[in-house]
Amino acid sequence: MSFEIRSKDLLGRIGLLRTRHGTLETPLLLPVVNPNSQIIQAKELRNTFGFDALITNSYLAWRRFRHEEKVPAIHELLDFDGVIETDSGAYQILQYGDVEVKPKEIIRFQEKIGSDMAVILDVPTGHEVSEKRAKWTVDETLRRADEALQSITRNDILWVGPVQGGSFQNLVAYSAREMAKRDFSIYALGSPTPIMQQYKFDVLVDMIMAAKMNLPPHKPLHLFGAGHPVMFALAVALGCDIFDSASYALFARNGRYMTVQGTAKFEELEYLPCNCPSCHNKTPEDIRKLIHADQEKFLAAHNLHVCHNELQTIKQAIVDGRLWELVEVRAKSHPALQSGFERMFNYSEELEKETPVTKRKGPFIFDLNSLKRPEVIRHQENLLSRYVAPTRAKTIILIPESDLEPFRADPTQPGRLRRIEQRNDMHICAYGLVFGIVPQELLDVYPLSQTEGSISAVTGAVSYVQERIVQYLRNFSYKSCIIIVKEPWQLKIACSIQTKFKRRMKVRIFEAKRLDQKLVAQVLRTVGPRKGHVRIS
């Protein structure tokens, strides 16, 4: 097994997972195929829908062929020439409490039928169980993992080590740490389905991160039972590489039409908000004229197309460095998903570590939530821990970024700040609503001048900027500070800073309509001991 990471953004990555039946690109969805009944034939999944891999239940196949002398290979049974992962019957344990097959027996069976990827027979924690019961499922799954590793004879199969613990973060973390000591090719987070069905995306975020932070980063993470496109971007941003689900078929059976904004009842649709191959040039009325079986197949096909398209969208977002924006947009689809997005902020440190320093495109800043993204946090942390201010600078000049950046880019207005720039005892910095404070010499460093923002001067944003400026000024030993203001929110910040630092440094405020030579001259004349607030008409 090898897993090569091609591109990263946040904790999401595009990877190449090599198997016996070909190389898979992650993130990927494994559609669940019932070996005994297929609403869409397995070979169609690859030839028509673009899925190079699927997952099926080896326990169901075992029940069907356990008394047969000759058992067909799983690829022959499903008529599928791509990659096949087999589950072991754990879903049936979750649903019915037990299965007839033994853990070693299902391992031998999966080796016999030639699975490409295979899951050991773990014990799912499920939902709404006691912590004692949850701990037992973790310990029993670890015991079975040890037993499985001693029983496995085929090393050309990628074996999956499940992590359990349910909604108990401490148990998920413990399970992940212990499972990481066992050499599985892939790790998987179990028991998330009830959490997702109840739209508890904030709990799901904590579960995923409890596992992710304790598993080897160089191996794929499989999120069992995740199959709705509305949450793919969030899960990928948290580091999930593989998904599997029968939701495309189950939703179709219940007359449900998937979109990246949520699920619609097909009977209520007056239009098809999609142009996938299944929906192209069709109307809901066209589909309602079909017999029920064909309606169900139409919905299943559409649902597959939507899932596949969303994964392609996510991959392009990773390449472009726009995964945060995609998650932010998808989070607006449902309040519960927004809650999950905001819970992600608790893991800013982990997200920042894996986010590239430079990207193809600059970030978009939409609102206060955008200020939690890694690029913004990284700038502030680096400014306080790695940046060294000019050693001779005794006075810092804070200029609104709207004045400083256009001036620097406008060749028709040279020299406005040259008289200040030539003095080594004065240091020019920009301040604004996104990055707080930016030294002039760093303005061209990514992403400081490549960012586009539409954030307004609401109370939270103003407080954010003020806090950043205060942290910066406390970190360096300027003797005086001059703040140029044009708007009311800037004056509010300036007055607050003047109050906070009145015993430490001289803070002078210049309220002006524009940055010009007259203002520069006034600033230079007042660099001395003069205090107060100067208004320039």
205 by DSSP, 3-state: which?
helix
The first and second tokens of residue 283, run together, are: 């109307």
Out of 87, 122, 244, 403, pick the active-site residue: 87
Number of other CB atoms surrounding residue 104 within 10 Å: 16
Residue 146: active-site member: no
Q: How far is CA 98 from CA 91, 121, 129, 143, 406, in A?
A: 9, 11, 16, 17, 68
Query: What DSSP letter does each residue of 224-246 carry, written as one string?
Result: TT---GGGHHHHHHTT--EEEES
Q: Which residues contact 521 (CB under 8 A, 6 or more apart)?
A: 419
Number of other CB atoms surrounding residue 201 within 10 Å: 26
For residues 195 and 126, give the distance between their C-alpha atoms in angstroms, rounded to a whole number. 9
Q: Are strands 28-33 and 242-245 parallel, antiparallel or unpaired?
A: parallel
Q: How far is CA 292 from CA 32, 254, 280, 284, in A?
A: 22, 11, 20, 13
Q: Which residues contact 40 (CB under 8 A, 6 or more apart)?
A: 49, 249, 297, 300, 301, 304
Q: Do residues 522 and 439 touch, judged by C-beta distance below 8 A?
A: no
In 91-185, which ranges are E strands? 117-119, 158-163
For residues 8 and 209, give the distance between their C-alpha atoms in angstroms, rounded to a whole number. 17
Which residue is listed with tokens 């630092």? 501
Q: Tell which residue, 272, 440, 451, 433, has the closest CA to residue 359.
A: 451
Q: How far is CA 272 from CA 283, 287, 295, 326, 429, in A?
A: 6, 10, 14, 23, 52
Q: Tell which residue, 37, 44, 117, 46, has the closest CA to residue 77.
A: 37
Q: How far is CA 387 from CA 2, 176, 302, 422, in A?
A: 39, 37, 52, 21
Q: How far is CA 493 from CA 227, 397, 456, 482, in A?
A: 47, 14, 15, 12
Q: Do residues 5 and 14 touch, judged by C-beta distance below 8 A?
A: yes
For residues 372 and 365, give the distance between their C-alpha atoms in angstroms, rounded to a whole number. 10
The first and second tokens of residue 372, run together, are: 């939690």
Phi-psi region of 286 (alpha: psi -120 to 50; beta: other; left: phi over 0): alpha
Active site residues: 87
